Structure 1
Amino acid sequence: MVSKINFKVESVRTINSPSQKNVTTYFTYVNFKDLPSGLPLDVNPRKPKMNTAVAKSLIAAVKAPETDFDINNRGIVIVAKSFKFNSNNNTVVLDLGDDPTKFGILDGGHTYTAIIDNRNELPETIDKFVKLEIIVGKELFVSRIADARNTSASVSDIALYELDDKFDFIKEAIKNEPYSNDIAIKDNSKERLPIIELLKLLFAYNIYKFPNANTTPTQAYSGKAMVFKDIKKDLDNKTGYYDSLAKILPDLVQLYDKIELEFRTKYLEYNPTGKFGGLRGVEKQKSNGKPLQTLFLENDTDYRVSAGYILPVFGAFRVLIEENNKKLSWKINPFTMWDTVGSSLVKNTLESSRNNPQDAGKNTSIWSNNYSKVENEMFREMLKNK
């Protein structure tokens, strides 16, 4: 793979991210004829399937004589190591590094493939363009961007997997819960709660994969595609890990809901004069508006807290899980443990991330330190009760 690629573009527009100052996005249009071939697709969570109805319509649009493709198509998103534009000859030098799992086409793989495979069928007299969105920045979390940009396809993967009733173990685990009929699995489902939200909880508590503070399930926040891939692998191999974890899923939902509801209370315990509603990643209920509700149990709340803050706190309590004969149970009640250490966990999460939910969600140190805090308190409780 050639890491540095030169190609001609139309004029370039540059936008710096207001939330992450070291991330820059470059927008440009490229003539089909100048679009470089061989761009890596490895960072895209799925390979293009060009025999679907959507892909066939893309191919038809590429071949069509109309020249408004750049208006009607969302374009191609690329993550690059660096981007240089020479305004003298309107050429770009794109550095894609030497790791195809970090740099390349993040979204728009079907569009890219349709153009590369079919542009030669266009008459020489026709010029058609595609929009490129090129993201450059240090420590970009590509799996999270890919996950967000490929939501519909990810849901489709889950829906296809359900055709073989693979998620019956989830349905069985929550059959007596108030949200059992709210789970959305199929595409365009009317149910309110995507099943991936439950799968993320199980992933965060996979003590087989993340047995200590040195191993952190940050992908529960940063990558739904990775979560699904891990659970699919377990089910396909009949390992049984997630089947065991599902037995405690109702407890996990209750714990997540309690943390979500009481996050502000624990914040005010260590910072009584703090303005919780002013924190980035916290949505305050609008005056005279409908109450906000928690994700799983739909309890009314005045504040909606980003999962980037909640998950590193929630995931810490997996240290309380023990296994006996493939049955999982709690060493110590997680709800009373939250009452004891919740304020310390919230403080560590917010202050270590500088009140940035994206950093908190993907920061392994925060996850690890929270785990250690719960573990230390667990040992104190055990010694006290001897």
Structure 2
Amino acid sequence: MSSTFNFKASAVRTIESPSQKGVTTYFVYLNFRDLPSNLPMEVNPRQPKMTTAVAKSLINAVKSPDTDFDINNRGIVIVAKQFKFTPNQNLVSLDLGDDPQNYGILDGGHTYKAIIDNRDQIHSGLDKFVKLEIIVGEQLTVSRIADARNTSAQVSDIALFELDDKFDLIKDSLSNEQYASEIAYKDNENKRIPIAELIRLMFTFNIKRFPDDSTAPVSAYSGKQAVFKDYQKEFGTDNNIYEKLAPFLPDLVDLYELIQKELPNKYQEYKNSEGKNAAFGRIRGVEGSGSYYTDFTEQSINYNISTGFLMPIFGAFRALLRESDGKISWEFDPKDVWKIAGTRLVQNTFDTDTNPQQVGKSKTLWQANYRIVDSVRKDLLLDKLLNERN
């Protein structure tokens, strides 16, 4: 007896294969909540292992308040016997036949399991989507597709860039930090912090590539691949910016988590100044009323805040780095400047948009926040010069 699954779709596109007649691929975007919970996975011989670093990263992405999962994730590949779409009802009917060795989830099993097991933890007012790539055709060689898809899936961006031997500068910088042993430097390490997160922090402060307010490291939020490419490109050069930035990683982690912890209070200050109630936990991209932890040192916080809000604020403090005689230093302590400019930065960020995805990708916002910090830097520099004269 055939196994048919019916579910709502947000968007459907159809493409017929130019190389093999009779093979059609349907790209379907659907809400996490509409994804059927019992799709067969026997067609994929590599069953999901949810304890690896990659799997944990997927779980975090599912539970995160960020709403761009369907853009950043490769999605789920399904081989089906028949596909039917009823446009006026936005209803997909998926026939997976009665042979689980030939029909079902072919690739993306980790993504599927991460969503099914964790979607109940997503805020009820938050909509997140996943892409299904559904292949239908009588002459499909399922084993060939499975091998090709899963082989490529095993290779992470880090492995593709062959960076495994280029992390010593990071290891040395963080050797005395409490979270040093929890950093995953290789694929499938069962550790809490992917190395990608630390490279992203350094990329955001790459003053060689982003020296002023004319440019902005927006890719730190929106382009993971661009971050890795930049890291790789610097190796073998005489002026490797990441060698200079690596000693500042503990500072960057501290600053990022300071913003993560205090942003809700700064938001409260900003709203109070306007005579309004804060209601911070109701903002799209913010999860509240729970127990959460900072990303690196696992300090307790009350809100889980989208990186779309955090990164344009964090990146503004790039304005405080200066390079002289080939060495980088802080012109002023970023924590002191956060005390002065934090409320303005938060106001500027949330006045721009309350959609974290739009905020994180807004070059204009990144530039405006940079100018706020740079303005404070100039004021402090003037005060310093006046005090020295007196």
Relative to the length of structure 1, the TM-score reads: 0.64
SS at match of 1:212: coil
Shift of 1:33: 2.3
Shift of 1:158: 6.3
Shift of 1:160: 4.2
Q: Hey, what's the Cα distance between the residues in 2 that align with 1:285 and 1:152?
A: 37
Contact 1:341 1:374 in 2 (8 A): yes
* Pairing 1:92-103 to 2, within 5 Å after superposition: none
Query: In the alignment, which residue of structure 2 is the partner of 1:232?
Result: 232
> 2:371 aligned with 1:385, yes or no?
no
Gaps of 5+ in 2: 1-6, 26-44, 47-78, 80-98, 109-130, 143-151, 386-390
Query: In the alignment, which residue of structure 2 is the partner of 1:332?
Result: 332
User: Cα deviation per residue 1:134-161 (whole Å; 9 max; x = unaligned)?
Assistant: xxxxxxxxxxxxxxxx986335526842
Query: In the alignment, which residue of structure 2 is the partner of 1:323?
Result: 323
Query: In the alignment, which residue of structure 1 is the partner of 2:104?
Result: 71
> 2:361 aligned with 1:362, yes or no?
yes
Q: Hey, what's the Cα distance between the residues in 2 that align with 1:331 and 1:301?
A: 30
Relative to the length of structure 2, the TM-score reads: 0.63
Q: Hey, what's the Cα distance between the residues in 1 that align with 2:154 and 2:293?
A: 24
Q: Hey, what's the Cα distance between the residues in 2 that align with 1:33 and 1:68?
A: 23
Contact 1:234 1:241 in 2 (8 A): yes
Q: Hey, what's the Cα distance between the residues in 2 that align with 1:264 and 1:368?
A: 22
Query: In the alignment, which residue of structure 1 is the partner of 2:244?
Result: 244
Query: In the alignment, which residue of structure 1 is the partner of 2:258?
Result: 258
Q: Residue 157 of structure 1 is aligned with which of 153, 156, 159?
A: 159
Q: Hey, what's the Cα distance between the residues in 2 that align with 1:371 and 1:211?
A: 11
SS at match of 2:308: helix
Gaps of 5+ in 1: 1-12, 17-24, 38-52, 55-60, 76-105, 120-125, 131-149
User: Cα deviation per residue 1:313-362 (whole Å; 9 max; x = unaligned)?
Assistant: 00000110001222111111110100111111111111202x11111111
SS at match of 1:308: helix
Q: 1:349 to 1:161 in 2, by over 3 A?
A: same
Q: Percent identity?
A: 36
Q: 1:187 to 1:203 in 2, by over 3 A?
A: same
Shift of 1:225: 1.2
SS at match of 1:208: coil
Contact 2:312 2:365 in 1 (8 A): yes
Q: Hey, what's the Cα distance between the residues in 2 that align with 1:192 and 1:364?
A: 30
Q: 1:151 to 1:372 in 2, by over 3 A?
A: farther
Query: In the alignment, which residue of structure 1 is the partner of 2:350?
Result: 350
Q: Hey, what's the Cα distance between the residues in 1 that align with 2:223 and 2:154?
A: 14
Q: Number of residues paired by the alignment?
A: 274
* Pairing 1:1-386 to 2, within 5 Å after superposition: 15-16=9-10, 25-28=11-14, 32-35=20-23, 69=102, 71-74=104-107, 126-128=138-140, 153-157=155-159, 160-162=162-164, 165-272=165-272, 273-286=277-290, 291-353=291-353, 355-386=354-385
Q: Hey, what's the Cα distance between the residues in 1 that align with 2:169 and 2:259?
A: 25
Contact 1:203 1:227 in 2 (8 A): yes
Q: Which has the higher contact order (CA 8 A, sep 6+)?
A: 2
Q: Hey, what's the Cα distance between the residues in 2 that align with 1:381 and 1:160?
A: 43
The AA in structure 2 aligned to 1:71 is: G
SS at match of 1:26: strand
Let me know the Cα RMSD of the aligned residues: 3.3
